[in-house]
Amino acid sequence: MAKQAAAQTFGSILDRAPADVEKPKPAPIGSYKTTIVGQPRFDKSSKKQTEFVEFTHKLISAMDDVDEDELKAYLGDRKITEVTMKNTYYLTEASLWRLKEFLEHCGVDLDSMDSLREGIEATPGAEVGIFVNHEPAQDGESFFARINKTFVAE
């Protein structure tokens, strides 16, 4: 029982053998059905101080264009519904259309809203499709999964 309690402590992750630590694989490329969880986060980028809003997507299911073997390898012992991904929209004149399009993909009726902020507040619980691609990390040696675009989930 004491061992089980130790496994749940914050520092217990450091008790793992170095040979058991591997670089995580990125989520496979393809389309997923997701739901927006929690409230969106508003913040500023660290480099240019550009304001943004960030949404958290909880994966519900993978669509036909996701390789099943890669998905099984990525998930390991986890269920797909245990995976979340972040999606960021910068709040600039040139990119505001992307946020508007995302809200529409979430099923938000923008015609009945007075502002985009009101639309953002309506997103928790919304279902939306995402397409994930792989982008190189800054180190040039690894890749990470990123939400490339969104679409209406059917």
Strand segments, DSSP code E, in 29-107 are 30-44, 51-62, 84-90
CB atoms within 10 A of CB 119: 20
Q: What is the pLDDT of residues 59-71, one digit of tens each?
A: 999 999 999 999 9
Gyration radius of the chain's alpha carbons:
18
Q: What are 84's two structure tokens?
A: 């979340």
The reply to whether 21 falls in a domain is no
3-state secondary structure string across 18-30 = HHHCCCCCCCCCE
The reply to whether 64 falls in a domain is yes
Look up tokens 């929690």; give the residue. 38
The reply to whether 19 falls in a domain is no
The reply to whether 8 falls in a domain is no
The whole-chain average pLDDT of the chain stands at 90
Provide the whole-model pTM. Answer: 0.84
- In our burial notation (b when 16+ CB lie closer than 10 A, e otherwise), range 96-106 reads eeebeebbebb
Number of structural domains found in the chain: 1
Looking at residue 56, what is its pLDDT? 97
The reply to whether 3 falls in a domain is no
pLDDT bucket at 7, cuts 50 / 70 / 90: very low
The reply to whether 11 falls in a domain is no
The reply to whether 97 falls in a domain is yes
Q: What is the pLDDT of residues 77-114, one digit of tens each?
A: 999 999 999 999 999 999 999 999 999 999 999 999 99
- In our burial notation (b when 16+ CB lie closer than 10 A, e otherwise), range 42-79 reads eeeeeeeeeebbebbbebbebeeebeeebbeebbeeee
Write out the residue range of the structural domain in which residue 108 sits: 26-151
The reply to whether 12 falls in a domain is no
